[in-house]
Amino acid sequence: MEPMMTTILETKNLSFVYEGGKHALKNVSVRIPTGCKVAFVGPNGAGKSTLFMHFNGILRQTEGEVEYNSKVIDHSKKGLIQLRKDVTLVTQNPDDQIFNVIVEDDVAFGPFNLDLPIEEVRKRVDDALKIVGMESERHRPIHHLSFGQKKRVAVASALAMRPKVLIMDEPTAGLDPEMVYRLYEIADEVNMDGSTVIISTHDIETAYSWANLVIVVMDGEVLAQGTPFEVFSMKDVLEKACLSVPMVHALNEFMSVNGRSDIYGRTMSTVLLNMRRGIIPGTLYILRPGYTGELHGRVGVYGSSSRSFVEKNGIEVQFGFNAIERCMDDILGGNDASIYLDDPLDHVLDRKLMDVAAHGITIPVEELR
């Protein structure tokens, strides 16, 4: 029997009415399990941002309850300070969140206000900037940064708080494809460290392969919540919320209907395995930060420590984003591939290897030291 998952955030019949009478949320009841990766999807104006601002106490509900760790949120000054130590929100527009002149000063602001020792503040700033790839920009004036760089600073400021819940509202909006994948990589790192990660997104393809729980919001109401496979199988809900079916899901359903496979794959590589036969895979070589030996095939990198290492050592990397998936594509084409991978992120690779194994294909894996 699987252990019962604890709940870190929950709303019960939550309703909120803005001044002027707009009903932004209507009897919303959602439960966020501890350590989960959650994607909220739905059209603009659905109420996702309003809901997020209830999770960390920026807004106070008109009716219903919001609970953190099974306790109703305390909206006193002391209660909100304590809540926001644990629950951080990265807003859609970084200019709404950043208010210091220099990058590292903004990242340090939160930890300083926790009255932490200066050594701990510095460590948190260093770690956060490293994760988002902004170490070299730490002394730059923020007004000199691009929109995408400002978003990285906003995420770093949230990470420096070491939150138990990281909420990111439309984090990929306005970012180039490489930074979109990098952001999901950061989300995996944070989640592996034990934090619950919540995002809102219009990128249903990536959300489908990334999230454990998907929640559909429309006109201030929750239409559905469940696993990605469950939610994106609800055609009536998708139509009502103006959402398309992720391509991976559609392919999987097509193959199941035609009797080709009843195996569920969450990534394009694993679903395409249903269409291919006689695959002789190459070998995946796992490299850790510190490895400078022979490289096999094309090389990917996944994780902030690995990224920092390859950059400092001038190691040429072909797959700087979406690296695990792209290495898998090479391997399933019969080629070898190598990937620099942070130890704590092994579970991300393991999940993809298990998907492939479900199709009867075992990928040889060798760790080089």
* Each residue's pLDDT tens digit, 179-206: 888 888 889 889 988 899 999 999 888 8
* Region 225-237 average pLDDT: 92
Q: What percent of the chain has pLDDT over 90?
A: 59
pLDDT of residue 262: 44
CATH class (in words) of the domain with range 7-245: alpha beta
pLDDT of amino acid 97: 87
pLDDT for the residue numbered 2: 41
Give the pLDDT confidence score for residue 169 in this predicted structure: 94
Name beta bridge partners: 30: 11
Mean pLDDT of the chain: 89
Which of 358, 360, 26, 69 is CA-nearest to residue 218?
Answer: 26
In degrees to the nearest 10, what's the CA dihedral of 56, 75, 164, 180?
10
On the question of pLDDT at 240 being above 50, the answer is: yes
Q: Which pLDDT band, with edges at 50, 70 and 90, does 258 fall under? A: low
Which residue type sits at 217? V
Q: What is the pLDDT of residue 154?
A: 93
- By the 8 A CB rule, do 90 and 169 touch? yes
Q: What is the pLDDT of residues 41-50, one digit of tens each?
A: 999 999 999 9
Are 10 and 32 in contact by the 8 Å Cβ rule? The answer is: yes
Q: What's the rounded Cα separation, in Å, for the pair 97 and 99?
A: 6
Tally of CA atoms within 13 A in the half-sphere of 245 that contains its CB? 16
Sign of the Cα pseudo-torsion (170, 176, 180, 183, in order): negative
Q: What is the DSSP letter of 5?
A: P
Who's near 150: CB < 8 A, 6+ residues apart?
94, 95, 98, 142
Q: Is the pLDDT of residue 165 over 90?
A: yes
Tell me the mean pLDDT in the region 341-369: 86
Instruction: Please name the residue that has the structure tokens 């923020």.
Output: 142
| Tokens read off for 310 | 């390859």
